[in-house]
Every structure is written in structure tokens, then in C-alpha cells.
Amino acid sequence: MLLVLRPFRVGEYIETSSVKGKIVDVGLFATELRTTEGLYLMAPFDAVEYADRQS
């Protein structure tokens, strides 16, 4: 559903209860994020579906 609606864009900072970071890529099954510590995370769509956006 995220691929169709595209609620997030590459470069935006998002924060959820389980993950937070800047979006690096939106893939077919997951979103790739870079945390403030510089780590790269692959978050499944259900983890970022209701995220707070901060540009």
C-alpha cells in the first residue's frame, strides 16, 4: 500500500514507536532508514505505516 500511496519520500525523517530515521529508499516490501547513529535499518511497511513525518 505504501508504494501506491507514497506517504513518505526519500530524505524525510520519520519516527514511530519502534523505528526512527531518515528514509533512504522505499522498496517493494520494506523501507530503508538511516538512524541518527548512522546505522541502516530495513523496516517492514507495517512498522512505518503510521509514522510521524518530520521534514
**CATH class of the domain whose range is 2-54:** mainly beta
Q: Where are the alpha helices (DSSP H) in the chain?
A: 2-5, 45-48
What are the structural domain ranges in the chain?
A: 2-54
Which pLDDT tens digit goes with each residue over 3-54?
555 677 899 998 888 888 999 998 888 889 999 899 999 988 777 766 666 6
Cα–Cα dist 35/41, whole Å: 8
Q: pLDDT-derived band of residue 1, with 50, 70 and 90 as boundaries?
A: very low
Q: What is the pTM of this model?
A: 0.71
